[in-house]
Amino acid sequence: MSLAQAIFQRKWLVVILYNNAYGPDGSHHIKTFGFQIIPLRDIVRYLSSVGLIYYKKGKKFEDKPSATRVFPEAKLVEQLWMYFLDIEQDINPPYITLKDPAKGWGRVINRLTKDHPEQEGMTIINEFIKSHKWACKGPVQLKYNTSALEGGRLYRPYTQKHS
């Protein structure tokens, strides 16, 4: 699904093929999704060896693991593109978040009551979305930069467009 998403978003799929990223001190996202380096490395090597992906090996940085970039070749695009239309993300709160919490705003946003006007509005939007079917469906989130006083934007997954 990530390779199918890369096609439509015209972005590289970034994978971490660095051993330390999968250890006890590794990336939170890698642990959360249960990724393991050996199967991921084998998949990338296989797809590259049979000419299904364009592969750019990551460069090592001092304080970060190297990130390998992958993009489907034309042969794979023909087989994958239609799966992008079936991608769907669970629609669950939180619908209001902060990109970069500062000065206690994270606590304020996390403690909004259900009857707060912004919370109610975002819940109405997302409840409407849940009951419908379309390509690349996912929640709409209101994301503030550092505080609610500095404004925010509506984000939707997969489309990389701002509402």
Of 4-18, 34-48, 95-109, 125-139, which range is least confident? Answer: 95-109
Cβ count within 10 A of residue 17: 18
Is there a single domain that holds both residue 39 and residue 105?
no
Given 69, 85, 101, the domain boundary residue is 85
Residue 163 lies in a domain: no
pLDDT band at 47; cut points 50, 70, 90? very high
* Residue 61: per-residue pLDDT: 64
pLDDT at residue 159 is higher than 70: no
Given 85, 106, 140, the domain boundary residue is 85
Residue 125 lies in a domain: yes
pTM score, two decimals?
Answer: 0.65
Is there a single domain that holds both residue 45 and residue 69?
yes
**52: containing domain:** 2-85
**Nearest CA to 97 among 54, 140, 161?**
140
